[in-house]
Amino acid sequence: MSTEPDDRADLATATAAVAEQTCEMRRNNRAYGLYDLLRATKNAPLTVKRAVPRLIQLTGDRFVHTAMLSNLGRIPQPPTLAADSGSGSPELWFSAPCDPTCSVSIGVVASGQRLALVTRYRDEQFDANAAEEFTDLLIAQVASQRTC
């Protein structure tokens, strides 16, 4: 997914450009049946429309988005994260949102040539050891995809 400078003229234009690029993927790979179901119920009686959320739960939430994107924004002068003499490696602390509908949250920040990852999870999803194992696997996968 990419945008051109003209696509970033304003939020609405950028959103439209990204939506256009991801529409087919979201429809075909994620919730094809749900979109058709919602379109079919558009003119349905109110009692049918009210039943749809309960019926979706029967699918094990397979048709409900489980990913959330949160943008912290673009900082004109990002921190250098350079270590002071005599001190250890600098650290960056942040946390991505993890609401009840999202059992694992992954936050990513890039600054210069550094990439910082953070995982946040609900206690129902992982215990501390499983979370550490998941994070180690995530880091290994990201590292294996590096091309530079």
pLDDT in tens, 49-90: 777 767 666 666 555 555 555 566 666 666 666 666 666 666
pLDDT tens sequence across 85-123 = 666 666 667 777 777 667 788 887 776 677 778 888 888
Q: Residue 45 to residues 55, 93, 125: CA-CA distances in angstroms?
A: 16, 50, 38
Structure tokens at 132: 């550490």
pLDDT, position 78: 62
Q: List phi, psi (to 5°) of 24.
A: -65, -40
pLDDT tens sequence across 31-43 = 555 566 667 777 8
147 vs 114: which has the higher pLDDT: 114
pLDDT, position 43: 81
pTM recorded for the entire structure: 0.44
Strands 114-121 and 104-111: antiparallel
Closest by CA position to 18, among listed 64, 69, 76, 74: 69
Closest by CA position to 19, among listed 1, 5, 41: 1
What residue has token string 């590096």?
146
Nearest-angstrom CA–CA distance, 118 and 110: 12
